[in-house]
């Protein structure tokens, strides 16, 4: 079996996403270092999202059920998941699969905040921690694209198609890849990409559309479950950077 080097080196990638005015920032980041040095969280996360490039399945329920007792735990988890995403992406092992439990997903997002993210109806996990791991449920009506061109984010993503089929496009590979129910992309920070629902491009997002409209089948489309690694406020201009065509 082939394994990617199992080592976490603290970097400034995630900590730079923690605002300078973050409450007790210095103490929190010191706690992040301690958590990373201990290794228990790394072992737990790597059991859910394997670092081995020969493993193509991951534990979605386990990642969804992660509970962070402090901001430091969420930020440390983001650091570890980012390192896994970077390694898998570099090895070309970023396409994975998982089992979908819609009942569990609906239960998790039952109290989520309804917002619009990149023009799409979205359920956003409450009590988001800047620089940490945050979960979102994003609805794409049929034919809608995440953005009108390729772009990047300052943190990584784990994006799973949980309702109907979606597509993932990246100029790096030069083609669109279909994401069927239960398939996922594990993507590091600054990876150039775009996501879309299947169907003719250019579809508009109806006013008042909700994620539940797509989940119920009232409106055709795709629903993605996204783990934002190194979360940046979705309304911040730093959350997205366009790439020239």
Average pLDDT value for residue range 208-230: 93
CA distances from 229 to 1, 3, 80, 176 (A): 28, 22, 9, 23
pLDDT exceeds cutoff 80 at 3: no
Summarised one tens digit per residue, pLDDT across range 40-82 is: 999 999 999 999 999 999 999 999 999 999 999 999 999 999 9
CB neighbours of residue 30 within 10 Å: 11
Q: Residues with Cβ < 8 Å from 55, sequence gap 6 or more?
A: none
User: What DSSP assignment string belongs to 25-83?
Assistant: HHHHHHHHHHHHHH-HHHHHHHHHS---TT--B--HHHHHT---SSHHHHHHHHHHHHH
The size of the chain, in residues, is: 245
CA distances from 151 to 55, 84, 117, 154, 190 (A): 28, 21, 14, 10, 8
Secondary structure element (H or E) that encloses residue 222, with its range = strand 221-229
Query: How far, in Å, CA of 234 to CA of 7, rounded?
Result: 30
Query: How far, in Å, CA of 130 to CA of 231, rounded?
Result: 5
| pLDDT band per the 50, 70, 90 thresholds, residue 184 | very high
CA distances from 224 to 6, 115, 167, 208 (A): 29, 15, 10, 18
Q: Quick one: pLDDT at residue 199?
A: 80
pLDDT exceeds cutoff 90 at 176: no
Query: How far, in Å, CA of 169 to CA of 149, rounded?
Result: 10
What residue ranges do the domains of the chain occupy? 12-95, 97-242
Lowest mean pLDDT among 76-85, 104-113, 147-156: 147-156
Q: Quick one: pLDDT at residue 1?
A: 33
Rounded to two decimals, the pTM is 0.90
Closest CA to 140 of 153, 123, 157, 122: 122
pLDDT exceeds cutoff 90 at 2: no
| pLDDT band per the 50, 70, 90 thresholds, residue 131 | very high
Structure tokens, 171: 């100029």
* Cβ 134 vs Cβ 153: under 8 Å: no
The domain 97-242 having CATH identifier 2.60.120.10: the answer here is yes
Average pLDDT value for residue range 19-47: 93
pLDDT exceeds cutoff 80 at 87: yes
Q: Residues with Cβ < 8 Å from 129, sequence gap 6 or more?
A: 68, 71, 74, 75, 231
Closest CA to 194 of 166, 168, 173: 168
pLDDT exceeds cutoff 50 at 132: yes
């Amino acid at each position: 079996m082939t394994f990617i080097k199992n080592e976490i080196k603290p970097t400034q990638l995630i900590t730079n996403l923690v605002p300078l005015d973050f409450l007790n920032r210095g103490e929190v980041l010191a706690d992040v270092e301690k958590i990373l040095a201990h290794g228990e969280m790394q072992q737990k996360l790597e059991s859910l999202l394997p670092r081995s490039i020969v493993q193509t399945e991951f534990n979605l329920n386990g990642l969804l059920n992660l509970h962070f007792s402090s901001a430091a735990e969420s930020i440390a988890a983001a650091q570890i998941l980012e390192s896994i995403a970077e390694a898998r992406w570099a090895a070309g092992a970023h396409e994975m699969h998982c089992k979908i439990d819609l009942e569990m997903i609906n239960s998790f997002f039952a109290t989520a905040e309804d917002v619009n993210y990149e023009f799409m109806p979205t359920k956003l996990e409450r009590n988001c921690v800047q620089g940490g791991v945050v979960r979102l449920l994003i609805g794409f009506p049929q034919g809608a694209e995440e953005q009108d061109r390729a772009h990047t984010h300052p943190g990584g993503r784990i994006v799973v198609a949980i309702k109907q089929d979606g597509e993932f496009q990246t100029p790096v590979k030069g083609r669109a890849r279909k994401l069927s129910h239960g398939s996922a992309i594990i993507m590091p920070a600054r990876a150039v990409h775009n996501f879309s629902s299947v169907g003719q491009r250019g579809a508009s997002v109806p006013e008042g559309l909700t994620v539940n409209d797509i989940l119920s089948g009232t409106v055709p489309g795709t629903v993605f479950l996204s783990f934002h690694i190194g979360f940046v406020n979705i309304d911040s201009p730093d959350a997205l950077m366009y790439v020239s065509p």
